[in-house]
Chain A
């Protein structure tokens, strides 16, 4: 079955860049589907960060767009998130998830999430 696994540093210093990778198993990213990143600050709700198609087309949350880059590496069957100039407000559990065949579809498969703390 399709599985997603996030990985990356659990601690990032303020003003630096947060970098996470989502490894996909059980399905080839090149075959289609949109893939997304969602985050959840401690004790708070979910926030959509952005999504990407295997072709590289990207869609970002307008409130984060200036700091976010999502990329895909089909050779490694993974996609990545970079969030620049982080502050304490970016402390959250970051999830990667599979969207549907079109960019407006729901996220049907999620990774377990990875906690990222922004602190000096």
Chain B
């Protein structure tokens, strides 16, 4: 069970859109529509932003959206805002009642 692969960093200017990828295998991301995304500000606990690939919990801005194609899931943030600057982690169900996280992506708002 290896960690999902995410880019170490992405950046964008306010108002722009960015996409963070999360690449797994046919044993995790590719087999289940059970990818979730978490936002983590420095020193804070992670916050669920997307679950089951593209569903948003109540209270999460619709600027956040998720998708999946094959073994790669993606998180898109549109209308980038300064408060979006944080670390983002993907997580996938990996079968046999196990979960695997990605290595994390640092988003910088320029």
Chain A residues with CB under 8 Å of chain B are 38, 44-48, 51, 59-63, 95, 103-108, 110-113
Contact of B101 with A47 in the complex, beta carbons under 8 Å: yes
Q: Which of B12-20, B30-38, B78-86 makes up part of the contact surface?
A: B30-38
A interface footprint on B49-78 (CB within 8 Å = 1, 0 otherwise)? 001100001000000000000000000000
A95 and B98 contacting across the interface, CB-CB below 8 Å: no
Whether the Cβ atoms of A48 and B46 lie closer than 8 Å is no
Report whether B57 and A48 are in contact in the complex, using a CB–CB cutoff of 8 Å.
no
- Asked if B100 is an interface residue, CB under 8 A from chain A, the answer is yes
Among B57, B97, B98, B104, the residue within 8 A (CB) of A108 is: B57
Give the complex CA separation of A48 and B3 in angstroms: 10
Q: Digit string of B1-19 for contact with A (CB within 8 Å is 1, else 0)?
A: 1010000000000000000
A63 to B3: give the CA distance in the assembly, Å.
12
Which residues does chain B contribute within 8 Å of A48, judged by CB atoms? 91, 98-101
State in angstroms the CA–CA spacing of A21 and B47 once bound together.
21
Q: Does A112 lie within 8 Å of B98, measured CB to CB?
A: no
List, in ascending order, chain B residues with CB within 8 A of A95's CB. Answer: 45-46
* Cα–Cα, bound, A107→B92 (Å): 11
Task: Let me know if A112 and B1 touch, CB within 8 A.
Answer: no
CA distance A110 to B47 in the complex (A): 7
| Contacts between chains A and B (CB distance < 8 A), count | 61
Contact B51 A61 (CB under 8 A): no
Contacting pair A45 B51 (CB below 8 A) = no
Interface centre among B34, B47, B97 (most CB of A within 10 A): B97
CA distance A31 to B93 in the complex (A): 23
Does the CB pair A106–B46 fall under 8 Å? no
Bound Cα distance from A47 to B3, whole angstroms: 9
Which among A60, A106, A111, A112 is the interface contact of B51 at CB below 8 angstroms? A106
Question: 15 pairs across A/B with beta carbons < 8 Å?
Answer: A45-B101, A45-B103, A46-B101, A47-B101, A51-B97, A62-B98, A103-B97, A106-B34, A107-B38, A107-B48, A107-B91, A108-B57, A110-B46, A110-B47, A111-B45
